[in-house]
Structure 1
Amino acid sequence: MQKLVVLQRAAVQIIHTLLPLLAGLFIISCSTRESVVRENPAGYSRSGSGSLGVAVSQPKAYRIKQGDSVDVSVWGYPEFTTKSMVREGGMIIVPLVGELMVDGLTKEQFQQLLKQKLSDYIHGDPRIIVAIFSPLTQKVTVIGAVVKQENFPVLTEVPLVEMISSAGGSTPEADLRHVKIIRAGRNEDPVEVDLATALENGTVEGLPRVRPGDTVFVPKTENAVKQFSDFLRDAVLLFGFFSFVH
């Protein structure tokens, strides 16, 4: 019984010790997040959890140009399937439809144009699938604590923030102070970027840019507040158990 009393007192002491620390961590965490949102002049949004949202400035949509290969398929209508090279003058040929001017169009604009042309042959809303391949197109892979881990086509260097935004933004548990850019085909150490500080200071334009073929890794961070909350919860349960026994 004396051992139980000693353990009970120890649990109470742990709770009393952790409560001020937990409160302090919570206040610091909240104030840091508020300052990031308030002092971020770069135009990029961060959620209340501190994650990076979709940037105001999105990568420009790719526009079809001469030399690109355009694949077209219409769900349920194989007669319209085609693979066509954009010829000089910006034209491609679609079966039954004929020549279409596509130079300078985005994929979405081309889909709308094709939908209008197909209305003479197909009733309703056809499902049109378009894939555009450029001889210069390469990919950047974004993985880790982002909404959508995926490969993204790029033609040239892209700002780091825009690549993360293309992946839907970072998740709440993302550690934006230790984002890594892994260079493709080079014997280089990964480039570590403190994106959180750059967002706070409005200096994102000075960050290293992502090159075609690179991989962007956004690590997860340990949530200190949650860890201490879980520990406190366990201590309370332990205290309740000892009280019941006593």
Structure 2
Amino acid sequence: MNQKLILSSVSIAALLCSACSAPTLVGRPGLAVYENKPLPEPVREDLVIPPRPYVLGPSDNLDVDVFGIPELSKSVTVDLTGKIALPLVGELKVSGLTTSELTAVLVTKLRQAHVLDPKVTVNIANAASQIFTVDGSVASPGIFPLSGRMSLMRAIAKAQGTTEYARENYVVVFRTVQGQRYAALYDLRAIRQGLLDDPEIFSNDIIYVGDSQARRLFRDVITAAPLITTPMLLLLR
């Protein structure tokens, strides 16, 4: 239902003051809150993000090295069908495998091709298949590579943060699991204050940051404020 709201220069100033109030950090189970004193220093284990196995996919560049046999050592790119081709091995589907799993497969294939005790190393020269998307009210929306572990806050920071018109309590993450699409709604303000955990982002996730039309309208009102000599009647939804 539409509501009529009268905005005068006084009410505009009041809104500005209320918007400038600082958030309060609230403790919750598992969160220790410090006020005006240094945080504890991290130990060595805290400085390393726990690894997640990288799954190969199209456009990944691989360096395959067979020790002592340079003619079998190649730099290859996973094609759009998820396959590579190597001497003595032929065409091989690698999409969905880790480098360790691919190494084991290559050792088996080379033994079948009568290579005695092959020693194979597979390294990722350029990881291009693991990506996530950030769209909506962020400074630089786009598609970004997923290297290592990624959280929602870090993903939005990759997109240069939210804009002044972002609706930070309406951030949606879309994900597909075994053909089923899921969507989860998050509140960045609560995550920043430690009220909610910062969720992990996975490959192919799509993050959408909502837009606040009310903030855009408020901006327009402030821009027009010098022209206002009498209270102005606005119609808001």
TM-score normalised to structure 1 length:
0.47
Is the helix fraction higher in 1 or 2?
1
TM-score normalised to structure 2 length:
0.48
Is the strand fraction higher in 1 or 2?
2
